[in-house]
Structures are given as C-alpha cells and as structure tokens.
Amino acid sequence: MSRQKNLLLTPGPTPLPPQVLEALSRPLVHHRTEAFAKTFAQVLEDLKWVYRTKGLVLMMTCSGTGAMESAVVNLLSPGDEVLTVSTGAFGDRFAAIQRAFGLEPRVLPFEWGRAADPDALRRALRERKGARAVFLQHTDTSTGVVNDVKALGRVVREESDALVVVDAVSGLACEPLETDAWGLDVVVSGSQKGLMNAPGLGFAAVSERAWKAVEAAKLPRYNFDYRIMRKSLDALETPWTPAISLVVAQAEAFKLLRAEGLEAVWRRHDELAAHARRELTAKLGLPFFAKDPANILTGVVLPEGVDGDELLAGILREEGISIAGGQMKLKGRIFRLAHMAHISKADVDAGIAALAARLAKARAR
Ligand SMILES: Cc1ncc(COP(=O)(O)O)c(C=O)c1O
C-alpha cells in the first residue's frame, strides 16, 4: 500500500492550512483568561465579517447538525407551523430534527440536483399561511446544488412573517452569502468546511427579529439555549467549556481568509469549480449530477456497472485521496469531488487523475 498523500477532496472536513494545524497543536490556554477572551473576541468579529452581518454570531461546541438543531429549538414552540425546503439530504435532516422535537414540518421537496424554485415556495406560502419559519439550505452538499438564498428569502418576506433560517454549513466562505442584506434571520454553519478548521465548532448568526422569537420560543433547550450564550458574551465567555484549540485555530484560519478578502475567496471558488468541471469533462467525460451546481463540489454520475463505493475505496487505499460518494438514494451512483476551502488546483488535478486511472481499470474489467 502506498500512502504518499492524505488528501481530503471531500466537502467537509476539508484540508487544513499549515497555520491552522500549528495552532491546533499549541499548549492549551484556560478559557476563563484574558488571553482566551482576546482570541474569542477576535473570532466573533471575524464571524460577523464572514457572515456579512452586524448582528451577533453565536459559537457552540458541536458539528453542523448541532447548529441546525439550535435554530429549531430556539425559534419554535410546540404546534408551530414550519415550512422546510428540501433539495437533498440536509433539507430532510432539518425536517428530521423538527420531528424529533414534536413538530410536524410541511416539507417542500425539489428534485435532487435542482435548486429550490422561488415560485414554488411562493405558492406553498400562499396555499397555507401561518408558517412561523422557513428552513432551507444555502448549498446542499448531498447533491452539489446552490440555492438562490437571496430570492428565496425575498419570497418569504413578501408572502409571510416567517423567519428565514438558512443552513450554510457547507456554503459559508465558499459561495456569496449576505446575512443582513438578504434579510436572513438565523444562518447556521460549522468550522470544518469553508472556514478551514477541524470539525467541532457550530455557529449561528441571529437577527434582531430572530432574538424576539428566541425569547418567545417554548421548545425545550439547555445546551443550545441562545439566551444563555448571549449572556456569557458580555464577559467574552462561552457558558460551558469551549473547544479551546478549535477557537485558537479558527482565529488563524480567519487571518488567511481576511488576507485574501471574502470576495476574492468567492471568486477563487468560482474559478476552481470551472477548472474542475473542465478537467472532469476532458478526462472522464461523464455527466454531472447537479443542474444548478454549487462551487463547492461537483457530483459526477458513474457509468452503469461501476460500483462507486468500491472505486473510491480503491483510490483511498492506493493513493491516499478521500473523495466522497453519494448519500442516501445516490449511494454508489455518484461521486462528489470537492473543490472548496483550502483545496488547491493541484489537489483537484491529483484527484481527477486518480479517478481517471481507476475508472479506466474498472471499465476494462
Ligand atoms: C449543508 C450541510 N448541512 C449540515 C451538515 C451537517 O454537518 P455535520 O456533519 O457537521 O453535523 C452538513 C455536513 O456535511 C452539510 O453539508
């Protein structure tokens, strides 16, 4: 077995820049100290910068799913009407969390590979009024689709008083997102994708309107109670022990993002996605899965008779390159090549070369 590389070409976790790796290995500081408070304050400012908001952004110790759950329990009460847009596995996850807390979400499903249609959302809001919140994805990582969050948010505002809740776990710092300018109420994310950090931090940007809902919400919550988190912020603390190393590492990742500039980061993703698709077409010649593709990854449909899971396991075993397979109903049928965060053009080329070689072998069998 040769393992020259340990390359993540997956849409989370993503590879870590050396500066972030170094920060993760530093001796721990205690979290109730001036030194930690200074780093924490900086990261909170950095989060506002990346979210494009003047409002508070909260930090939690959890993965993206925890941040999704935090939005559900902080905004809603038993019996609330909820409209959940689903463009793939993560829309379904929002609905599953809502059901776990006794809610009965109305799910508005879209064909996998397609973005949510703002007109269909408008019709759904007109057909049944009274939704307390509309939940949707910025990018759905299972299908590689990007939603027009600006247009969807506008429709919700025009048709209802519902809060707009966005899962930007895989889209933040990769694709354009304007929390304030697009009128988004809660936007959740995580550390292990566009933010170029290890997994373990969850984030939620909370609008003024959303804070009113947080005060009124009746669903049970404790670990994820936004009110408790906000109170601790006065002392520049988190209510519980934070993932100290991850916060320190996040500060380093933000230095890199800030040095590049957010619009330049978005542009880089756009260019790398175009490069990846050109190369995939030239070297593999297989159809892409998404009709409304995001810049974070490209989903590629495998030929009949090729077992996707086996193909990717072989590439990992022999090349040390991780590429994601399909999720749920796409398991074994597609692969998802990520081109986001700290992934470079050379990384993408290495992944495509490995895929081309392995596919040629699989076809020759
Ligand atoms: C769009 C989206 N939402 C939510 C999640 C869940 O995040 P986690 O796996 O960190 O809990 C993911 C992770 O892949 C994601 O891509």
Q: Residue 259: is it exposed, middle or buried by C-beta count within 10 angstroms (0-12/13-18/19+)? A: exposed
The answer to whether residue 45 scores a pLDDT higher than 80 is yes
CATH placement of domain 18-258: 3.40.640.10
* CB of 74 sitting under 6 A from ligand 1: no
CA-nearest residue, atom 8 of ligand 1:
64
Rg (CA), the chain: 21
The answer to whether residue 60 scores a pLDDT higher than 60 is yes
Buried b (16+ CB within 10 A) or exposed e, 279-303: bbeebbebebbbebbbbbbbbbbbe
At 1 the pLDDT is 46
Please say whether the beta carbons of 195 and 59 come within 8 A.
Answer: no
CB atoms within 10 A of CB 103: 20
* CB of 160 sitting under 6 A from ligand 1: no
Domain spans, the chain: 7-14+261-364, 18-258
* CB of 53 sitting under 6 A from ligand 1: no
pLDDT digits 0-9 by tens, 102-112: 999 999 999 99
Q: Residue 314: is it exposed, middle or buried by C-beta count within 10 angstroms (0-12/13-18/19+)? A: middle
* CB of 137 sitting under 6 A from ligand 1: yes
* CB of 170 sitting under 6 A from ligand 1: yes
pLDDT digits 0-9 by tens, 325-344: 999 999 999 999 999 999 99
Atom from ligand 1 closest to the CA of residue 137? 1
Judge if the upstream peptide bond of residue 176 is cis by omega within 30 degrees of 0.
no
In the reported structure, the alpha carbon of residue 64 is separated from the centroid of ligand 1 by a whole-number distance in angstroms of 5
Q: pLDDT grade, residue 4 (50/70/90)?
A: low
The answer to whether residue 319 scores a pLDDT higher than 90 is yes
In the reported structure, the alpha carbon of residue 183 is separated from the centroid of ligand 1 by a whole-number distance in angstroms of 23
Q: Is 330 left (phi over 0), alpha (psi -120 to 50) or beta?
A: alpha
User: Average pLDDT in the 134-159 region?
Assistant: 98
CATH fold group of domain 7-14+261-364: Aspartate Aminotransferase, domain 1 (3.90.1150)
The answer to whether residue 173 scores a pLDDT higher than 70 is yes
In the reported structure, the alpha carbon of residue 65 is separated from the centroid of ligand 1 by a whole-number distance in angstroms of 6
In the reported structure, the alpha carbon of residue 166 is separated from the centroid of ligand 1 by a whole-number distance in angstroms of 12
Buried b (16+ CB within 10 A) or exposed e, 114-137: bbbbbeebbebbeeeeebbbbbbb
Q: Residue 4: is it exposed, middle or buried by C-beta count within 10 angstroms (0-12/13-18/19+)? A: exposed
CB atoms within 10 A of CB 218: 11
Q: pLDDT grade, residue 364 (50/70/90)?
A: confident
The answer to whether residue 207 scores a pLDDT higher than 50 is yes
